[in-house]
Amino acid sequence: MREFFGPLEEFVDEFVALYVYRKYRDPFAVTVATILSQNTTEKNAFRAWRALERYGVTPESVLALGEKLKEIIRPAGLQEQKARAIAEVARSWERLERAVRAGDREELLKVKGVGKKTADVVLMLFGHKAFPVDTHVFRVARRLGWASGNYDAVSAKLSELFEGREAEGHMYLILLGRRICKAKKPECGKCPLADTCPKRVP
Ligand code: SF4
């Protein structure tokens, strides 16, 4: 897919968590960006991130915002839920930081506010073996016949398929899902994987 889409560096502005990782290399900031990006478009997640960034994205600064946090991150939607998760993560930032640096998924999942997908995005960006599965990845992997089942099954299968290139595989599958293998009308005529796809629509 690299030949088709070009290098991932050109898409940093389309993945808020990747953008924040490149800019800060900070587990807390990357976790916040990942939470903001859930169930919304990257455009909205970026809007919320930029609004929050003005106040500084550290555990102390985020907790100091109190109720205001919800308003600031409103562009990302689900602000009540996301503000709660961000505050929980801020309160446990030392545990979070240790778990991310060590690549300890089990420990990371013990941090309140961190679900499987968030944990996998953060671990993947910090260079650990993890394959996050979002709605695009799920759909594309199923259509291609690469994986099926629940989150854990799909994640494990894709980790195996993309061993050592998990971040690249994850992001190219998202790009494919967003631009070509769309939920309602996949544009199979433009798809770089059409020759191998059992669900290809003529
Ligand atoms: S051929 Fe069509 S259904 Fe298959 S992955 Fe490509 S766009 Fe999706």
**pLDDT (tens digit, 0 to 9) for every residue of the chain, 202 residues total?**
888 999 988 999 999 999 999 999 999 999 999 999 999 999 999 999 999 999 999 999 999 999 999 999 999 999 999 999 999 999 999 999 999 999 999 999 999 999 999 999 999 999 999 999 999 999 999 999 999 999 999 999 999 999 999 999 999 999 999 999 999 999 999 999 999 999 998 8
pLDDT in the model for residue 202: 80
Kindly give the number of the ligand 1 atom that is closest to the alpha carbon of 187.
Answer: 7
Q: Which of 26, 117, 157, 182 is catalytic?
A: 117
193 ligand 1 Cβ < 6 A:
yes
Question: What is the distance in A from the centroid of ligand 1 to the CA of 175?
Answer: 12
Q: Please, how many CA atoms are within 13 Å of residue 195, restricted to the half-sphere of its CB?
A: 1
The question of whether 43 is a catalytic residue gets the answer no
Question: Buried b / exposed e across 27-66, counting CB within 10 Å, b at 16+?
Answer: bbbbbbbbbbbbebebebbbbbbebbbeeebebeebeebe
Parts of the chain belonging to CATH 1.10.340.30: 7-127
The question of whether 134 is a catalytic residue gets the answer yes
Do residues 116 and 92 touch, judged by C-beta distance below 8 A? no
Domain 7-127: CATH superfamily, name plus number: Hypothetical protein; domain 2 (1.10.340.30)
Q: pTM for the complete prediction?
A: 0.95
pLDDT in the model for residue 88: 98
**CATH for 131-202, options being 1.10.1670.10, 3.30.420.340, 3.40.50.2300, 3.40.50.10070:** 1.10.1670.10
Parts of the chain belonging to CATH 1.10.1670.10: 131-202
Kindly give the number of the ligand 1 atom that is closest to the alpha carbon of 194.
Answer: 1
